[in-house]
């Protein structure tokens, strides 16, 4: 498994007591597999992604990324693990306003200490894969919402992550563009053999995903087949 969450419980402080955001959650995502996570607002979807991304340490349970158990890792070790193994796509594309689409991607390679010459080629290849190669020289304000989200996805793939975590990528897009973004993520997951978790509250896009899991009040249940 490229990503395993095993018996994860996560609580947040809530006045005098604690709120249980994730309640004994177990989820395994194989290489090249896309699991969609659906559930109402407040059910724990973003918390699940934050734990999988090693951004939040759960109260109990184990997160394993690409066969490495993350329990007991130092902050520096986790930062390196995230940089090298995990691609994260948040709801809003937080692109840097001054940089072109190609530069947004090249910066990721530079942070990881990779060769700038190779980074340019890889950036162009990925922008092409997500269908915005013609916009490589444009800055975020010169791109449409759908194009920005595509650049955001390409950026998350720049360092060839083993795991891709995507939080509601279609919330700012109309139905057609939303469906295209989910199709794109599905295709890249299969092509690049990534383990992907895609969070969404909109089930209508989920026609081609490998598996759907539902979260309710922090409990996760695997649904049998895509709907």
Q: Does 200 bind Mg ion (CB under 5 A)?
A: no
The binder of 21, among Mg ion, ligand ADP, none, by C-beta within 5 to 8 A per type, is: ligand ADP
Cβ at position 206, least distance to Mg ion in Å:
17
- From residue 119, alpha-carbon distances to 6, 116, 150, 152, 162 in Å are 35, 5, 18, 16, 18
Binding ligand ADP (rule: CB under 6 A), the pick from 27, 35, 45, 140 is 45
Helices 145-156 and 175-191 pack at an angle, to 10 degrees, of: 20
Q: Segment contacting ligand ADP (CB under 6 A): 24-32, 38-46, 80-88, 103-111?
A: 38-46
In the shown chain, the binding pattern of residues 31 to 70 toward Mg ion, with x for contact by CB under 5 A and - for none, equals --------------xx------------------------
| Residue closest to 173 by CA, chosen among 138, 148, 193 | 148
Q: Does 170 bind ligand ADP (CB under 6 A)?
A: no
Q: Does 39 bind ligand ADP (CB under 6 A)?
A: yes
**What is the rounded distance in angstroms from the CA atom of residue 151 to the CA atom of residue 132?**
7
C-alpha torsion angle, residues 87, 29, 129, 158 (rounded to 10): 20
Q: Are 131 and 54 in contact (CB under 8 A)?
A: no
Binding ligand ADP (rule: CB under 6 A), the pick from 7, 19, 68, 125 is 19
Footprint of Mg ion on this chain (CB under 5 A)?
45-46
């Amino acid at each position: 498994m490229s990503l395993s969450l095993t018996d994860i419980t996560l609580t947040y402080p809530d006045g005098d007591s604690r709120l249980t955001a994730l309640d004994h959650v177990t989820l395994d995502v194989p290489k090249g597999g896309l699991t969609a996570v659906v559930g109402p607002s407040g059910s724990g979807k973003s918390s699940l992604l934050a734990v999988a991304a090693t951004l939040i340490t759960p109260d109990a349970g184990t997160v394993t990324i690409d066969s490495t158990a993350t329990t007991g890792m130092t902050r520096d070790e986790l930062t390196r693990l995230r940089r090298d193994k995990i691609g994260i796509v948040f709801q809003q594309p937080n692109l840097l306003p001054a940089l072109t689409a190609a530069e947004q991607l090249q910066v990721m390679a530079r942070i990881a200490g990779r060769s700038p010459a190779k980074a340019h080629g890889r950036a162009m290849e990925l922008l092409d894969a997500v269908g915005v190669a013609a916009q490589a020289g444009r800055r975020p304000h010169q791109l449409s919402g759908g194009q920005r989200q595509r650049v955001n996805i390409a950026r998350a793939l720049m360092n060839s992550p083993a795991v891709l975590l995507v939080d509601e990528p279609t919330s700012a897009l109309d139905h057609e563009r939303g469906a295209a973004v989910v199709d794109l993520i599905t295709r890249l997951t299969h092509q690049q053999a990534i383990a992907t978790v895609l969070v969404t509250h909109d089930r209508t896009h989920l026609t081609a995903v490998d598996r759907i899991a539902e979260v309710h009040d922090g409990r996760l249940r695997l649904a049998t087949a895509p709907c």
